[in-house]
Amino acid sequence: MNLKLLIFRARSRGVPVYCCLLLCVYLVLKYFYWRPLETESVPKHLRGYLKFAENFKFPRHKLRAAEIKRLSSLVELLNNEREVFQTRRYGAVRGDTTTLVVQVHRDAERLQTLIVSLAQVRYIHTVLVVFSHSYYDNRINKLVASITFCRYMQIFYPYSLQLYPNKFPGIDPEDCLSVQGKRDKYCSNRDGRLTEHKHHWWWKACFIFNNLDWSDNFKGTVIFLEEDNYVLPDLLYMLRYTTRTLSYLQGIHVMSFGRPYAKYLDYDLLSVLSWRPPFDNGLAFNKTIWQKIMSVSSYFCMYDDVSWSYSLLNAFGKLRAGRADVVATAAPRVLSTSMFPSGRAAVRQISAWLADAKLFPVNVKAVMLYGSSGRIDSGSKPPPWGNGGWSDMRDHLLCLDPLMSTTTANFNDLTATSDPLTSSTTADYLTIAHHRVNMSDAEIRHLL
């Protein structure tokens, strides 16, 4: 039926012409431009967490000196308060409370989809979710403050690029200068935008295990997440099985709930193997393992790689066993949304993937593979050297003492100076490093 005939019949029946035109416009929009609702994969009662548009980006804005000073004071105050919210509804945090730590930067659109996924996790009301921010913005803080489904806390990385935009540990114009004040030709081009992520991961782990009110007697499990993660509803359900596996199979150090998605995976299977990336998504361990990591912290903090996961792999290689064994879910319970154009696009695809997924398995199996020559995958060594970007001694020292009370000006003085260090000054830095690291004087001098 053509448009002229449609309008003629409508007019003969007393329908105004403009109504017919509006109908035509509606049909055109519906068949050529209509898209499914962005929120159709999100339950209605959780759509209130979707506060940011799909293409939302924070504008680039550098703070003035006075603003930085005020923000630094605010960050210090908030980190000292360490307030836990929603305790009236869900009770106080105990020493065995499972803790989920989310590392947050500026991707608010993906963060809100992570929050939506967390809200759908069974037993989420029993845990504490800590949001560790490297960027302070009231809009992100209000998004987190709107959470009602569990206890939560917000902490703020105090050495971020936002607070140190033009000097170490941010982007220092004199990065990679040697102790003589000359450009180091062997330097691997330090970039504060990349080093921040490794620093932040290490700082928040130290803060959680060492600096909270219940840290001294903490016996729970900490699961590490990123703002661009998406968790499945049975994450904490499977945590109970992986934790139980630790008591049956001796020598397991960590747990992992993340890996790239693939079809035909067994959702009722746990595998035991040597830890390595990509098992860094959804990595989990307790304070006992953290203390072992701290005992080899120099191999994390001085490994020339801006990736915290490969630095951790290098540190695990220095343990007595020469590796860290992991019990991991064969099918991921923590997925990355970074491969998708947006968080909403990821939710739509993940919902399609999980349409036939057999979550909450009744019977869960744990397997360890052996061959004729012994255990398969009995060790995973890091690359002989890192990928670079972490050769600056100031990064090493800040990493070795991330909860320090001294100012970062001391670290700027270490390498950004035009005069050679005196022998007494060098000895002072060696004393600091030797106090924090289990290394010989010769090894430390080699790094200077």
Domains along the chain?
Answer: 3-32 (no CATH), 44-375 (3.90.550.10)
At 434, list the tokens: 């030797």
CA-to-CA distance for 327 and 257, rounded, in angstroms? Answer: 9
In this predicted structure, the answer to whether residue 162 has a pLDDT above a threshold of 90 is yes
Q: Give whichever of 27-36, 103-112, 172-181 has the largest mean pLDDT.
A: 103-112
Q: How many CB atoms lie within 10 A of CB 363?
A: 6
* 371 strand-pairing partners: 374
Give the CA distances from residue 302 to residues 24, 42, 159, 313, 438, in Å, rounded to whole numbers and listed in that order: 67, 43, 18, 13, 12
270 SS3 class: strand
At 192, list the tokens: 């504060």
Which has the higher per-residue pLDDT, 183 or 343? 343
pLDDT at 424: 41
CA-to-CA distance for 278 and 123, rounded, in angstroms? Answer: 26
pLDDT at 440: 43
8 A C-beta contact, residue 346 and residue 340: yes
In this predicted structure, the answer to whether residue 183 has a pLDDT above a threshold of 60 is no
Give the CA distances from residue 208 to residues 290, 298, 309, 421, in Å, rounded to whole numbers and listed in that order: 10, 19, 18, 36
Confidence of residue 171 (pLDDT cuts 50, 70, 90): confident
Q: Give whichever of 41-45, 174-178, 221-225 has the largest mean pLDDT.
A: 221-225
Give the CA distances from residue 381 to residues 159, 277, 323, 373, 437, in Å, rounded to whole numbers and listed in that order: 31, 11, 8, 19, 22
8 A C-beta contact, residue 255 and residue 270: no
At 372-410, the pLDDT tens digits run: 666 666 566 667 778 888 988 899 999 998 766 433 444
Confidence of residue 368 (pLDDT cuts 50, 70, 90): confident
Confidence of residue 172 (pLDDT cuts 50, 70, 90): confident
Which has the higher per-residue pLDDT, 28 or 230? 230
At 405-437, the pLDDT tens digits run: 433 444 444 443 333 333 343 344 344 443 444
In this predicted structure, the answer to whether residue 51 has a pLDDT above a threshold of 80 is yes
pLDDT at 420: 35
pLDDT at 418: 33
Q: Give whichever of 119-133, 167-181, 351-365 has the largest mean pLDDT.
A: 119-133
> To which H or E segment does residue 115 belong?
helix 108-119
157 SS3 class: coil
The region of weakest confidence among 92-106, 170-184, 225-239, 272-286 is: 170-184
Confidence of residue 307 (pLDDT cuts 50, 70, 90): very high
CA-to-CA distance for 162 and 156, rounded, in angstroms? Answer: 11
Interval 349-364 mean pLDDT: 91
Going by the annotation, the residues of the binding site are 228
Q: Considering the chain, what is the average pLDDT of its residues?
A: 82
Interval 127-133 mean pLDDT: 98
One-letter amino acid of 115: I
At 9, list the tokens: 């019949």
Going by the annotation, the residues of the binding site for Mn(2+) are 228
CA-to-CA distance for 34 and 179, rounded, in angstroms? Answer: 62
Q: What are phi and psi of 268, to 5 degrees?
A: -110, 20
Which has the higher per-residue pLDDT, 369 or 128? 128
CA-to-CA distance for 265 and 159, rounded, in angstroms? Answer: 41
The region of weakest confidence among 134-143, 256-265, 308-317, 430-439 is: 430-439
Q: Provide the pairing of β-strand 221-226 with 99-104.
A: parallel
At 113-128, the pLDDT tens digits run: 999 999 999 999 999 9
At 88-97, the pLDDT tens digits run: 999 999 999 9
